[in-house]
Structure 1
Amino acid sequence: MKKYAFNEITTWQYIFLIFTSEIGIGVLPFPANVARYAGTDNWISVILGWALITAGSLFIIQAMKHYPDGTLLDLLTNYWGKWAGMAGAIVVALYFAFFSYVVFSRTVIYVKAWLLPQTSELLLVVLLIIPFWLIARSGVRVLGRFAEFVVLICCWMPLIFIYVLGDAEWLHLLPVLKEGWEPVVKGTPEMVFTFLGFEMTFVLYPFLQKKNRAAIGVITGNTLALLVYLLLDFTCLVFYSPDEISQYNEPVISLLKVVEFPFIERFEIVFLALYLLLIALTWIPFTFCSVYSTSWMLGKQDHRPHLIVFLLLLVGSYCFYQPTFRANNKMIDWMGKFGAGFAVVFPLLLWMLVAAADRYRRTAS
């Protein structure tokens, strides 16, 4: 019997978990962030970032195929012993815990700035972790179902940006590569961070029902995210002037101010309120991956006690320190550098080491 058979997810749930984790927090600020490096050619940086993370995704799948019934932690233990698995569990737990904290704190900042400016950060944290607990406590299968539900009720959102294109100035895109390839290449690392989320495959892989579709699933999830990013990027580039776009922290939200309906006065507020569901599908699965790793270290099947500890630490941290927008941006910069190594470079090295270990075992036998 499969070790994770009781909590398996379908291919579409796998795709939606990857897709929603990638478009969670990075969608709102990315056009301005990448435009600071590549200007109106930043859409090329988006495509290059997609190519890098797709390559990293496929290396993860190739490495996990060598131990299909286990997570990255089981793979490390099987090939290099208990201490390698423990070391991997510590790194994975810290990585996903920090990533979850960064995204969660950004969520609190968004809610405070756009939706509930008169509410204290600590109260917002308490309100947000209630649905957080209800979803994350139930395991991967419930996360997959939640991802399907969120995609279903949010699939209309890209159509709004097509509506905004009625005020577009397409000449902003010309000429292409006006300053050469160097600015485009410099903007690519920013997109690598924006696409982060697919590295959950290290933990989700053994839960997938049909593992022969894992590569197709991760490519599909990455490509869906690419299409969303390209739509938003082109919309912002042709809506704002080349000098204006970099002056906004969240240009995607700011351009929605031109959208008017007779029955809604502040449409951007309604949009952001619903978009919080997509953001939740970044930090909730990341938190699950973190507490799963700590539970694995202690040989526990139930991750809920560790989840309770994580939530208590999260609330406690806000009693002493409440990150500002600038501080959160610095955290994002650190996370982007570490995430690029963990999600792009490490999968390649892992696949090479596992392949070499298998070849050595066959030779020795």
Structure 2
Amino acid sequence: MKNAVDEKYLISPFLIVPLMYVSMVGVGVLNFQHEMAELAGYNAYISVVLVGISIHLILWMIYKILSSNQEGVDVTAINITCFGKIVGNILNFAIVLYFFFAAYIEFYAYIEVIQIWVFPSIKILPISAILVSFIYYTVSGGFRSVTGLSFFGLLMTLIFIIPENLSVLPYTHPLNLMPLFNHSITDILLSSKSMLFQFLGFEALLLFYPFIKSPAKSQKWAHLMVLFVTLMYLMIIIITFMYFSEGQLREISWPTLNMLKIIEGPVFQRVEYLAISLWLLKNLSGISLRLWCACRGMKTIFQIKPRASLLTFLVGFLILEYFLKDHSIFLWISECYSDVGLYFIYGYIPIMFVVTQVRKKWRR
């Protein structure tokens, strides 16, 4: 069956690689080791492996859900088909809010990094307005524009970010990882929940699936990217554990950036500034992808033009940025988003998998 999306808006199956990457890797890669070390110590690397394996299973379910219906539909249409217009659109609006807050958390977290590490005395509103302008330009250009920016975000990571982390290896102490198993299963599971927060975003596939040409061919690339991101997180957390003592790690809020401080060059003596600057492309692409998903959902539910809903969301960013002076409120929002993401990934998606498979067999 012909895809419902116009041919000129489609992307090649291979281009799911940068989209999956920017959706699963965000600002959290700069500090995720801190919380995980508090929960499971140096055994936290086990959580990375467990979550990575579970994401492969959930990704397989997502492809089954989307391929069980006619080609060219996303999860919003499937919700309406399975649960009716009223309940389906309630679920769809919840998904829109989910992606909006996912984008906002990434937006706020990056500005926080800029304010703490680069310009401590800068006013937040002007830099927020500049970033919002870039995001509007990207998302208003359409899905292919978001994909293009995501490609450059992935490229910057491969060229700069990973080599910068590997350059710390001569200063590490492998014996820090011993003993290998000295935490309970409960600690590992709590650490896994924290790790899941870093992977949240890959579920954007539920909405951009119809924009992939021959989407079934993209599945192998999607799984390959989940494996790559899992290995990257595993590499970063093991290097961090070998570089810092467990006591140091519990006191350091941004372990990845602190490691980069040891590197000096003839031009840049503060390499972490370069890393933060290069991270802008990757972070903007992740925010843009999430906002594109939110706008896509609004178009399905309320027939609102994407640019109108995009402007509304971006104004919402600025309003939240202006009024959220207390950092504890942002932490509360992040915690709520993490909890909702847990239920969304391990609750909603498996339920939808069962519903769509039963419905498919019933039709036969």
Shorter-chain TM range is: over 0.9
Query: Structure 1: any 5+ residue segments left out of the alignment?
Result: none
2:88 corresponding residue in structure 1: 85
**Separation in structure 1 between the aligned mates of residue 108 and residue 253 of structure 2, nearest angstrom:** 16
> Residues of 2 paired with 1:317 and 1:336: CA distance?
19
Aligned twin of 2:298: 294
CA distance, structure 1, for counterparts of residue 170 and residue 227 of structure 2 = 26
What displacement does 1:213 show?
Answer: 2.2
Q: 1:93-112 deviations in whole A, cap 9, x for unaligned?
A: 11111111111111111111
- Counterpart CA distance in 2 for 1:167 and 1:320 is 43
SS in 2 for 1:176: coil
2:213 counterpart residue number: 209
> Aligned-pair distance for 1:185?
2.2
For residue 172 of structure 1, what is the aligned residue in structure 2? 176
- 1:187 partner amino acid: S
Would the aligned equivalents of 2:108 and 2:321 in 1 still touch at CA under 8 Å?
Answer: no
1:30 and 2:43 equivalent? no
> How big is each residue's C-alpha offset from its partner over 1:218-277, in whole Å with a ceiling of 9 and x where there is no partner?
211211111210111011000001221121111001111101112212111111111122
Distance 1:136 1:213 in 2: 25
The answer (yes or no) to whether the contact 1:108–1:125 under 8 Å persists in 2 is yes
- 122, 125, 128: which one aligns with 1:125: 128
**Secondary structure of residue in 1 paired with 2:338:** helix
**1:2 equivalent in structure 2:** 3
Aligned to 1:219: 223
Residue number in structure 2 paired with 1:107: 110
The answer to whether the aligner puts 1:184 opposite 2:202 as a matched pair is no
Residue type at the aligned position of 1:288: W
1:292-323 Cα offsets, whole Å, 9 max, x none, are 111211224x4111111111222233333335
Q: Normalised by the size of structure 2, how large is the TM-score? A: 0.94
CA contact (8 A) 2:30 2:255 kept: yes
Alignment-derived partner of residue 54 in structure 2: 52
Compare 39-48 and 274-283 and name the one that shifted more: 274-283
TM-score by length of 1: 0.94
Superimposed CA distance per residue, residues 67-116 of structure 1 (whole angstroms, 9 cap, x where no aligned partner): 23111011122333322331222111111111111111111111111222
| CA deviation string 1:105-164 (max 9, x = no partner) | 111111111222222111121011111111011121111111112222331221111110
* Counterpart position of 2:332: 330
**What percentage of residue pairs aligned between the two structures are identical?**
20
Which whole-Å CA distance do the structure 1 matches of 2:241 and 2:256 have between them? 11
**Alignment match, 1:355:** 357
Q: Is the 8 A contact 1:21 1:279 kept in 2?
A: no
Contact 1:105 1:323 in 2 (8 A): no
- Whole-angstrom distance in 1 between the partners of 2:38 and 2:15: 35
Root mean square deviation, CA, Å: 1.6
The 2-side partners of 1:287 and 1:162 are apart by: 33
Q: 1:236 aligns with which of 218, 235, 240?
A: 240
Structure 1 runs of 4+ aligned residues shifted over 6 Å read none
* Pair 1:134 & 2:137 matched: yes
Question: Residue 324 of structure 2 contacts residue 330 of structure 2 at CA under 8 Å; is this kept in 1?
Answer: no
Indicate the larger mover: 80-89 or 54-63.
80-89
Tell me, what secondary structure is at the counterpart of 1:189? helix
Q: Counterpart of 1:339?
A: 341
Of 233, 253, 256, the residue aligned with 1:252 is 256
Q: What's the secondary structure of 1:26's corresponding residue?
A: helix
Structure 2: segments with no counterpart, 5+ residues: none
CA contact (8 A) 2:21 2:154 kept: no
Aligned positions of 1:140-179 closer than 5 A: 140-156=143-159, 157-179=161-183
Mean CA deviation greater in 41-50 or 148-157: 148-157
Aligned to 2:167, the other structure's residue is in SS state: helix
Distance 1:78 1:318, change over 3 A: same
Separation in 1, partners of 2:162, 2:153? 14
> 1 CA distance for matches of 2:333 and 2:312?
22
Amino acid at match of 1:263: V
Secondary structure, aligned partner of 2:213: coil
Contact 2:31 2:255 in 1 (8 A): yes
Whether 2:267 is the aligned partner of 1:275: answer no
Q: What is the Cα deviation at residue 338 of structure 1?
A: 0.5
Contact 2:263 2:269 in 1 (8 A): no
Could you tell me which residue of structure 2 aligns to residue 42 of structure 1?
44
Shift of 1:361: 2.8
Q: Aligned pair 1:65/2:97, yes or no?
A: no
The answer on whether the counterparts of 1:161 and 1:232 sit within 8 Å (CA) in structure 2 is yes
* Cα displacement (A) at 1:180: 4.2
**Match for 2:86: what amino acid?**
W
